[in-house]
Amino acid sequence: MPSPPRRLDACLAAGTVAVIAGVLGSQLLAPAGARGATRASTVASPVTRSDGTARHQSASARPGATDRGAIDHDLQARLAGRMSRSTAGRYGLVFDVAGVGRVASIHPAGAMRPASTQKLFTTLPLLLDQPGRRLVTSVRVVARPEAGVVHGDLVVHAAADPSLLKFHLTHLAEQVRAAGVRHVTGQLRLDTGSLPMRTRQPGWKPDFVPWDVGPLSPFPVYEDVWRHDSGYLQHPTLANLRLFRARLADQGVSVAGGNEITRSSHARVVVARHQSAPVRDLVRHTLQISDNFYAETLLVVAGGHQRVREVTADAGVTDQSFSTDGSGLSYDDRESPRGEVMLLRYADKGPARNDLRRALPIGCNHNGTLEHRFCGTIGAGKVFAKTGTLDHTTALAGYTTDALGRNVTFSVICAGVRSLTAAMRATDKAVLVLRHYSG
C-alpha cells in the first residue's frame, strides 16, 4: 500500500532544519521542547445559527477587549528588523500578551493567503461542538438474513470518515459474514445522505490532486491515495465501493446486483459497523501533520463553511476572512494576522482550549510540522502553533509564553516570499523575540 503524499509543510520541515537550527541555535540556546504552525481565519460577518443553539462566546475575545494602547514600539521595531530578512513582498504580524494587550501589530488587517493555518478555523467548530463524537460507517439491510440470504440490498451508510482504511473494510466484511449473510439478492448500495460528492475544491491547482490531497469522497479509503489512475481520481467513491465488494467476496459473501450510490435508503438493520477515534483525535492528527485530506473531510463533518463563519463571527473577527476549502490549499483563501489572533484568543478562553493546545504542533517536538523548528532555542517545547506553507507563502499562528510566563497569542503571515526558508527563519526569530520579552 503506498504512503499518502507528503504535505508541503512536512516536506519543507525536514529540508530547512539544518539552516534554521544552525542560525537560531548560534544565537539563542535553550532547553528543548515546543512546536507550532500558523493558520488562517474565515468569514467575518455575523451569522445567526439556524438551529437556535447557543454560540460559544467570550467577551474578552472581542475586538474591544484588546488594549489598543499597549503597543511597544521598541519591540515592534525589533520584530520589523527580524522580518526584514523574510524575503516577503509583504507580511503582517500581531502579538498579544495576556494582561498587557496588543504589544505589536504590523499590517494586522492585511488579507493574505493563510495556507494551512486555515485548518484552525476548519477544526475549531468541531472542538467546540462535538469533540467526543465518533464517525460511524455502518452496513445495513432491510431484514435479517434467512438461511444466509438477504432479500434486498446491502447498504453501506457513509460517514465521511477520513481515517477509514482498507483493513477496516475487511473488518466490516467479516462482521457481515458473522451476521449470517452469505448472499444478497439485491444491489450493493452506498448511502451518502447529504454528503458532498465533489472531488476537488475551488482555488486548487490541478496537480494538488493527488500529490497534496487525495480526491475528495463521502466514503474515503486510505485518504483516497491508494490509486492514482485517472479513473480513480475522477470517481473515487464508486471505486471504494467496489473495493468493499471485493472484501465481501473474500469473506464468501456474494451480491447479485450491481453497485449504486444513492442519497437515501430504507435499510435499518445494522449488520456491521466501524467507528472512528473521537473527533478531537482526528483534529489532533489534522493539525499536527497538516493533513489536507482530513481537513477537507472534517469541514464537511463540522457543518461546512456556514458553521465556520458562525464561529469566526463569534470570535469577533471583522477583517476580511474568506475560504473556499478547509485545508488552506486554495489560492482563493484570504485571512489576516489579526483575524487569526482573534480566533486563537477566543478558542483559548472557551471549552476547546485544552483540546486545541494538545492538537497543535510543538516546537522541536518529535511529532508534527514544527519538529525541526525552534530546536536549540528557548522556543523548544514552548511554541504551540499551526504552520502554513504554499508557494510564495508562509504562516505561523499559535501560542507561546514570554520571559515573565505570560501567555502570548500570535500570528505571522508572509506573502510574495522569494525564499520559504528565509521566511520561516525570520518568523521563528520574531517569535523568539517574544519569548525574551518582559515589557
Task: Return the CATH number at 271.
Answer: 3.50.80.20
Same domain for 272 and 289?
no
Contact 120, 299 (CB under 8 A): no
pLDDT of the residue at 51: 36
Same domain, 263 and 144: yes
| DSSP symbol at 271 | E
Domain end residue (candidates: 247, 276, 305): 276
| 103 and 26 co-located in one domain | yes
Last residue of a domain, one of 254, 276, 298: 276
What is the distance between the alpha carbons of residues 86 and 422, in angstroms, rounded to a whole number? Answer: 5
Q: Is the dihedral of CA 128, 134, 137, 140 positive or negative?
A: negative
* Model confidence, pTM: 0.86
pLDDT on residue 367: 85
Using alpha carbons only, what angle is made at residue 366 by residues 362 and 368, rounded to the nearest 5 degrees? 55
Residues 333 and 364 in one domain: yes
Residue 2 domain flag: no
Over residues 72-111, the pLDDT tens digits come to 999 999 999 999 999 999 999 999 999 999 999 999 999 9
Q: Tell whether 208 and 151 lie within a shared domain.
A: yes
User: What is the C-alpha separation between 417 and 388, in angstroms, rounded?
Assistant: 13
Residue 59 DSSP symbol = G
On the CB side of 190, how many CA atoms lie within 13 Å of its CA? 26
Quick check: is 296 in a domain?
Answer: yes
CATH of the domain at 105: 3.40.710.10
How far is Cα 322 from Cα 121, in angstroms, rounded to an integer?
Answer: 11
Residue 82 domain-assigned (yes or no): yes
Residue 49 sits in the same domain as residue 125: yes
Q: Determine phi and psi for 155, rounding to 5 degrees.
A: -120, 125
Q: Is 227 domain-assigned?
A: yes
pLDDT for 366 equals: 86
Residue 1 lies in a domain: no
Q: What CA–CA distance (Å, rounded) separates 298 from 304?
A: 8
Burial profile 347-378: b = 16 or more Cβ within 10 angstroms, e = fewer: bbbbebeebbebbbbbbbbeebbbbbbbbbbb
Same domain, 233 and 116: no
3-state helix, strand, coil in the chain (%, to 5): 35, 20, 45
Per-residue pLDDT of the chain (439 residues; tens, 9 = 90+): 444 544 455 454 444 333 333 333 333 222 222 223 333 333 333 333 333 333 444 333 343 344 455 899 999 999 999 999 999 999 999 999 999 999 999 999 999 999 999 999 999 999 999 999 999 999 999 999 999 999 999 999 999 999 999 999 999 999 999 999 999 999 999 999 999 999 999 999 999 999 999 999 999 999 999 999 999 999 999 999 999 999 999 999 999 999 999 999 999 999 999 999 999 999 999 999 999 999 999 999 999 999 999 999 999 999 999 999 999 999 999 999 999 999 999 999 999 999 999 999 999 998 899 999 999 999 999 999 999 999 999 999 999 999 999 999 999 999 999 999 999 999 999 999 999 999 9
Q: Is residue 73 part of a domain?
A: yes
Does 3 reside within a domain? no
Q: Which one of 276, 297, 318 terminates a domain?
A: 276
Domain identity same for 149 and 258: yes
Give residue 263's pLDDT. 97
Tell me: do 284 and 272 sit in the same domain: no
Considering the domain architecture, whether residues 127 and 182 belong to the same structural domain is answered as no
Whether residues 262 and 289 share a domain: the answer is no
Number of folded domains in the chain? 2
Residues 85 and 151 in one domain: no
Closest CA to 394 of 87, 105, 103, 119: 87
Q: Which domain does 253 fall in, by range?
A: 136-276
Domain membership flag for residue 19: yes
C-alpha cell at 228: 492514482
